[in-house]
Each structure stands twice: as structure tokens, then as C-alpha cells.
Amino acid sequence: MKLAVVGATGLVGSEILEVLAEHNFPFDELLLVASERSAGKKITFKDKEYTVIGLAQAVAEKPDVAIFSAGGETSKEWAPKFAEAGTIVVDNSSAWRMDPTKKLVVPEINAKSLKIDDRIIANPNCSTIQMVLALAPLRERYGIKRVVVSTYQSVTGSGLKAVNQLMDEREGKDGEKAYPHKIDLNVLPHIDVFQENGYTKEEMKMINETKKIFDDQSIQVTATTVRIPVMGGHSESVNVEFKEDFDIAEVKQLLSATPGVIVEDDVANNVYPMPMNAHKRDEVFVGRLRRDESQPNTLNMWIVADNLRKGAATNAVQIAEYLVEHSLV
């Protein structure tokens, strides 16, 4: 097994390496790959030093699996080249998510759709992953008509430049900016670029990806995505209207029995999901479960996950693990 991590020097790339180590992912050879300007850098992984190589060299090495986290443009250009060389690409960018010829995979929900000839597999958007994982068992039991989601997203979702902007502002220093406004002590209802319909690209990702992952165009989804000055994870307020009525106790039971989901819902003792507790965790945390008293068959829930873990690195590694376990690579 020859494994490549493309974008190994970035925030998500570093997290992928951590998850690979924690999960003891099986490989015989590891290629750490980045842009030409990063080639030659040294990265230590499991007490062994690796030299970062460029994309062209990595393609020539013909890895069995390449986990990409190098941005959409890089993925569009290089993922097909890896695929042509016989590599299975698991891609973290938005480049392939809505391509009808590519699978969009959250392993706990739809990994069974993967086939031996899937050469480029898309990893969903971080905010979509945590929401659909929590919704999946409830959809199966009650059916879903409509989802209204508002997000509270960590600056880590914008990369290292955004983290540096927050810390610079907190320390009163001037530096490189990732956002058009100050982020410390502020809230930005603006993630990714605005579209002609007034929604941001991030909001449309949540809408379209949810339908694709569930393979159900009938689900109505509307989203407002917001950046807040925290690190550790994304939080979401989700209002979901079911086709059938539900019982709160059963909802908690279904969620508690879902792999990768942890219910934290004890308001009498101030227990509910928070990004500071989700940090460096692979699970999706769900709480504040309560009936929407304004209309029937509708549930309010609060969903939190580390966006660099289950929202990106962990989900990608889990896809690769599925491929290995089911002899698809």
C-alpha cells in the first residue's frame, strides 16, 4: 500500500497525518506532497522524517491512494492525473462534490455506494458532514421534509491565514487578513463568495450536498452560514421538519445508537455540545434536543464537531479505510 497525502503542509493536511497515526492506517510507503514551493520541506511522522515532494513526482510514484487537501484548483488539475496513473483520490475540496459522475461520501451513510471503478471520491463540506451524520438515523425513522440550518463556524475553516488574523487582532497586532472585516469580537454572516441568489457558496454547498448525500432531491434545505471568532469546531442550529411525528426519547435513543454520534443533552446540569469540547475529537456531538412548538413534527437540535477532524481529515481517512477493508484498493 503506497499512500500519498497531497497538501501535507496545510492545516487539514497536518490533521490528516494526525488521524492516520491515531487510526494506525495500514500503509507500506508514505508520500507527503505539496506545491513546488513547499517541496523539500521536512515533516516528521511517527518519529520518521519525510521530505515533501511535488505533485508531478508524486504522480510518477503511482500511489494506491491519495488523500487530497490542497484546494479546488489544484484538485481539478491534478486529481485526474493521479486517477489516470491508477490512484484512487479522496478529495477534500469542493471541486468534485457536485459532479454527477463522482460519489460524495460520508462513510456511515453511503460508503456502500463505492465501487472498484470510483477513482475520484469527494469528501463533503465540513458543515454538511456533521449535519447529515446527525440527521441520517432520524431521516430513516421519520422521513425529512425540510431543514433550516444556521451555522457558527470556526476560523480554522478558512485556513492558517484566518487563524493568524484572529490571533493578531486579539494581540493588537497588524497582519495579513483572511476576511474583509475584523473577526475578533465580531460575527461575519459571510462564508465563501456570494452568489447571484444572495446566498453564499457555503450555504449552497450545504443545500445541494445534503440532497446528494441522501440521494433525495425532495428534501428542502435552507442555510445561513456564519463565521465566529472561535477555534475548535463548527456549531449548528438545526430545525428539521419530519414527515412523521417523533418522540424525543426515541430521538435520543436513535442518535445515541449511531456510530460517530455522541448525545450531550442534560440541560439541568448545563451539558450541551460546545466547540471547545469537540476539539481534536472525531465524533459529532448533538444536544439541545427539543420540540419546535410553533409547528408539528419539527425538532430543534444543536450539532457540534471539529471541522478539521470529522469535517475533513477524519472523514477522508475513514473513506480510505473503507476502501482498504472492502478490497476496493
Q: Is 23 a catalytic residue?
A: no
Q: Is 126 a catalytic residue?
A: yes
| 54 burial type by CB count under 10 A (0-12 exposed, 13-18 middle, 19+ buried) | middle
Using an 8 Å Cβ cutoff, are 111 and 263 in contact? no
φ/ψ (deg, to 5) at 248:
-60, -40
φ/ψ (deg, to 5) at 46:
50, 50
Mean pLDDT of the chain: 97
Question: Can you say which residues are annotated as belonging to the binding site?
Answer: 9-12, 37-38, 97, 153, 227, 307
Summarised one tens digit per residue, pLDDT across range 239-257 is 999 999 999 999 999 999 9
* Alpha-carbon radius of gyration of the chain: 20
Residue 33 is predicted with a pLDDT of: 97
Residue 63 is predicted with a pLDDT of: 98
- Which position among 23, 126, 190, 326 bears the catalytic label? 126
What integer is the mean pLDDT of 281-296?
98
Instruction: Give dist(CA 119, CA 90) in Å, integer.
Output: 8
- Which position among 23, 181, 190, 234 bears the catalytic label? 234
What integer is the mean pLDDT of 273-297?
98
Is residue 293 very low, low, confident or very high in pLDDT (cuts 50, 70, 90)?
very high
Is residue 36 very low, low, confident or very high in pLDDT (cuts 50, 70, 90)?
confident
Instruction: Say whether pLDDT at 125 is over 90.
Output: yes
Percent of the chain topping pLDDT 90: 98
Instruction: Say whether pLDDT at 166 is over 90.
Output: yes
What integer is the mean pLDDT of 58-85?
97
Question: Can you say which residues are annotated as belonging to the binding site for phosphate?
Answer: 97
Summarised one tens digit per residue, pLDDT across range 178-225 is 999 999 999 999 999 999 999 999 999 999 999 999 999 999 999 999
